[in-house]
């Protein structure tokens, strides 16, 4: 024998029925705080600012970044002469 019971209620009614706390005020406060933090950090997402951060030491930093990218792209394989780069 199989019995099926369908209960039609809102999430708020189910939460109250099972005695769970109402966390909506906390969620609203946290979302507001997160939005404020994200808005304050938006200027750091500017591509110019990102490059300034990465290239802070100047042209030397670019050279190091280029070497790291080249090493990752080539897998650090030795050159054809048998010497490592």
Structure tokens at 65: 């970044």
Nearest to 10 by CA among 24, 29, 27: 24
| pLDDT bucket at 59, cuts 50 / 70 / 90 | low
Quick check: 75 and 68 in contact, CB under 8 A? no
67 vs 62: CA distance, rounded Å: 9
Is the pLDDT assigned to residue 78 strictly greater than 60? no
| Three-class SS state of 74 | helix
Is the pLDDT assigned to residue 77 strictly greater than 80? no
Q: What is the per-residue pLDDT for 76?
A: 64
Instruction: Write the pLDDT tens digit of every residue in 8-54.
Output: 999 889 999 999 998 999 999 999 999 998 888 877 777 777 777 77
51 vs 58: CA distance, rounded Å: 10
């Amino acid at each position: 024998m199989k019995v099926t019971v369908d209960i039609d209620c809102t999430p708020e009614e189910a939460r109250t029925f099972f005695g769970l706390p109402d966390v909506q005020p906390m969620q609203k406060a946290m979302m507001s705080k997160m939005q404020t933090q994200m808005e304050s950090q938006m200027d750091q997402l500017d591509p110019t600012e990102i490059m300034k951060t990465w290239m802070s030491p100047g042209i030397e930093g670019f050279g190091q970044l280029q070497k790291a990218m080249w090493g990752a792209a080539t897998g650090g394989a030795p050159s054809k002469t048998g010497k490592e780069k």
